[in-house]
Structure 1
Amino acid sequence: MSAARTLPWPLVALFTAGYLAPYLLPTTVGRLDTGLPLSATQAGAVGSALLLSSATAGFLLASRVERFGARALARVGLALAVLGYGGAALTDAVPAVVAGLVVGGFGSGTATTVAATGIAAHRDPHRISTLGLLTVSALAGALYLTLPHLGPGHGQPPAAIALSALAVWPLTGRLPVRTATRTAVQEGSRLPHRRSGLVLAAAMLCWSLAQNSLWGVSGRIGLTQAHLGEVTVGAVFAVSLGAGLLGVIGAGALGPRLGRALPVGAGTALIAGCIVLSASATDLTSFAAGEISWNTLYPIVLSYLIGLAASLDPRGRWAVLVGSASSLGTAAGPLAGSVLSAQAGFPVMGSVLAVGLLVVALPMTAVALHTGGRALLPGTVRRRGGTPAAVVAASAGAPSGAVPQIGAPEQPVVEIEVDGTAAPVRPAYGTAGPQHATAGAPGPGGR
């Protein structure tokens, strides 16, 4: 069977539909304060409300996808996105526009939750999340080139998001229906790696806050500080997202070769420098350099963070919870960026955000180091299982299904009778000390 047939394209499409609203945030917020009687700060607050609604959907549904079924939840999310964003695009009444964007945001968050849960359960979550980032970057880049030519007004960005959600609807028929019983859903309900998950969620909230504080005002930086036209700013964004495509392709090609700690830590430090450059831009050259370099690095680091969250729980709960915490930061980003830039100016805002990123890079790197594991060598399976074995499972050429997944329950080792007396059953893999003579049941490495 070809690789194309084994890829979960419905999950990739759902991921794209859910992530499109944050990707189009600069033009969505920028058009609110030009097409409607809203100030820049009010428009930023509306963008924050949209993303806060999306984060709320993730927190509410993180542990309920199996109970309701991926197909049903995906269709509900897409329907809310079509109705909410479509309604916001068709009216000029500010309360109706705000309500429509909030409803659409909840739909986007629902779609993203279903996609994240399915991706985390896949045997190669980094590959699938990278492909999802690739498609959403390509779609957003095409829209940034197209929307300025469709005329002014606030309605074009939400209309594009609504149409994208509608286009994904037919693919939901290939998603699984509800198959888990109540007992199956309740089993293993305890979240693994709680401390690492909580640290990663808190760090991701701050990481996304810094990223989207700049992203939410990038359009205004280009228009007011760099003195560029809307068509030029849209072209810069399109080129930036195109560079992001190259970054995502590079991340997919590298895969786990560099581990996760180096891309997360060093990548975040480089992003901090890009933010300073973009926020202080005063002409096309500096603005384009900052935005293009930043958007090249951002999806690379994000893909590794998504993979890191997915590795903490094979049922996808940490992937959804960390993603929702990230959405909270994303939601606060436009408002925080608007307030900071209004009070201190864009260059000072960029410096503050860069320092914040350098601070949160430390705990994220620590989580990546703690949960990344080391290559599995004979006799080095840890008692708590999962992590080192999963490193081998993610390596090229490793036999699938022969090693436990991260977070998987430990398997009992049954020793076979050799002297007429059955040996007791051990609760877990042994890691040290001499072993009793056995008949050689296959170990986790398939030997």
Structure 2
Amino acid sequence: MPAPRTLPWPLVTLFTVGYLSPYLLPTTVGRLSSGLPLTATQAGAIGSALLLSSATAGFLLASRVDRIGARTLARAGLALAFLGYGGAALTGVVPAVVAGAVAGGFGSGTITAVAASGIAAQKDPHRVTTAGLLGVSALAGALYLTIPHLGPGHGLPLAAIALTALAVWPLTGRLSGPAAPARTSSSVAYGRLPHLRAGLLLAATMTCWSLAQNSLWGVSGRIGLAQARLTEVTVGAVFAVALGAGLLGVLGAGVLGSRLGRALPIGAGTALIAGCIALSASARDLSSFATGEISWNILYPVVLSYVLGLAASLDPRGRWAVLVGSASSLGTAAGPLTGSVLASGMGFPVMGELLAAGLLLIAVPMTAVALRTARRPLPVVELPVEAPVPAQEAYDTASPNSYASTSAR
């Protein structure tokens, strides 16, 4: 048994590799459009298909991780990610690239489902989630600094995900096999989802929350270049600083832990993010653009870690954690297209105001779920996990050659 304060590193690494593909999606989509005979819209559609495949895996596997076994599913997901992304990286045939990206996305979703289920069984899921977010942010940041120096081509970001999946494979030996239903100590283990209304409400609002974040992120590069009239180099520098600020946000979430509960970070944090989105969308100079983008990237991982921790607390088996994460992927996939449509029809400032108003609206039910859950005891289930082992994920569909297509969420 690990020490009480020892992180379950297999889970942390699975979380990292599962979330790596959406974190690298900006540069993946940008390179697809520049390295293959694809338009920006077509490349963006492949990115959306990848995320939708990942979300589909989460929805399908949410209640099956224990029955199939964490080790079996994790290895299947890692193998699918390695073969899918690796195959897409090695070929220039567009249909094969699409098939590989979709297969790899399903693998990423499978890996994330295993990680989320295991994290939900931990005594402090927020702490483990924060470690996972820190890991994927640091790895994605390192790759964003490295990939541009390795040459052109669509395959490098895809190959990076495939190799990361391969590197994590040895840690799956510490995961459990299929669970035996008779050994569980509560009928909750294989019964109906607990806290059904709260879970459904959280999943629905998380889809909208993710959509709002990525609607702006998908056009942030265009805002900096066209509205704030900054150079591409300056916009790139702002996004680089914002990525570093995101790491600080993850560290801050880890330091705060459960001291403030979940309701205050989720409710107040979402309201502050709404303000950052409105500021960024209306920016007409470097000061306002940088302030909005950097502040936003500090707050985003903080709120995300508490939302994922809240989802994990709703069900010790991790089903709600998987479902809420998959719902987030749906919003992520639709975000850039939504942002482009709103910006084209109404302009950036009005788009930002609408997104901010939407975030303020959904902050209310999200906070209510956190408050209500905090007042109710959760079912206790003994799960047969021997050694317990996720921005962001957007891309600029209209301007793949801008820095927004090479910066992490």
Amino acid at match of 1:163: L
Other-structure match for 1:166:
166
Q: Does the 8 Å contact 1:70/1:178 carry over to 2?
A: yes
Amino acid at match of 1:20: L
Q: Which runs of 5+ in 2 are unaligned?
A: 382-409
Post-superposition shift, 1:255? 1.2
Select between 341-350 and 171-180 the one with higher mean Cα deviation: 341-350
Distance 1:340 1:352 in 2: 9
Other-structure match for 1:266:
268
Amino acid at match of 1:6: T
% identity of equivalent residues? 78
Aligned match of 1:349 in 344, 348, 351? 351
| Equivalent residue runs for 1:205-216 within 5 Å | 205-216=207-218
Other-structure match for 1:311:
313
Other-structure match for 1:298:
300
Other-structure match for 2:125:
125
SS at match of 2:176: coil
Provide the aligned C-alpha RMSD in A: 2.5
Matched, 1:105 2:105: yes
Q: Which runs of 5+ in 1 are unaligned?
A: 374-385, 388-405, 410-447
Matched, 1:288 2:260: no
Instruction: Point out the structure with max Rg over C-alpha.
Output: 1
| Equivalent residue runs for 1:134-283 within 5 Å | 134-181=134-181, 187-188=187-188, 189-222=191-224, 233-282=235-284
SS at match of 1:257: coil
Other-structure match for 1:432:
none
CA offsets per residue over residues 367-412 of structure 1, 9 Å max, x none?
Answer: 1111112xxxxxxxxxxxx52xxxxxxxxxxxxxxxxxx2238xxx
Other-structure match for 1:408:
380
Q: Does the 8 Å contact 1:121/1:314 carry over to 2?
A: yes
The count of aligned residue pairs is 379
Distance 2:60 2:4 in 1: 33
Distance 2:281 2:86 in 1: 33
Matched, 1:364 2:366: yes
Distance 1:94 1:220 in 2: 27
CA offsets per residue over residues 104-159 of structure 1, 9 Å max, x none?
Answer: 11111100000000000011101000110111111111122222222333222222
Other-structure match for 1:83:
83
Return structure 1 stretches of 4+ with deviation > 6 angstroms. Answer: none
Other-structure match for 2:332:
330
Post-superposition shift, 1:220? 4.5
Post-superposition shift, 1:2? 8.2
Q: Does the 8 Å contact 1:117/1:315 carry over to 2?
A: yes
Q: Does the 8 Å contact 2:246/2:300 carry over to 1?
A: yes
Post-superposition shift, 1:46? 1.9
Post-superposition shift, 1:233? 4.8
Select between 264-273 and 283-292 the one with higher mean Cα deviation: 283-292
| Equivalent residue runs for 1:56-67 within 5 Å | 56-67=56-67
Using the size of structure 2 for normalisation, the TM-score is 0.85
Q: Does the 8 Å contact 2:186/2:380 carry over to 1?
A: no
Post-superposition shift, 1:184? 5.1
Q: Does the 8 Å contact 2:316/2:380 carry over to 1?
A: yes
- Cα 1:168–1:51, aligned 2, differ >3 Å: closer, same or farther? same
Specify which structure has the bigger relative contact order, considering alpha-carbon pairs within 8 angstroms and separated by 6 or more residues: 2
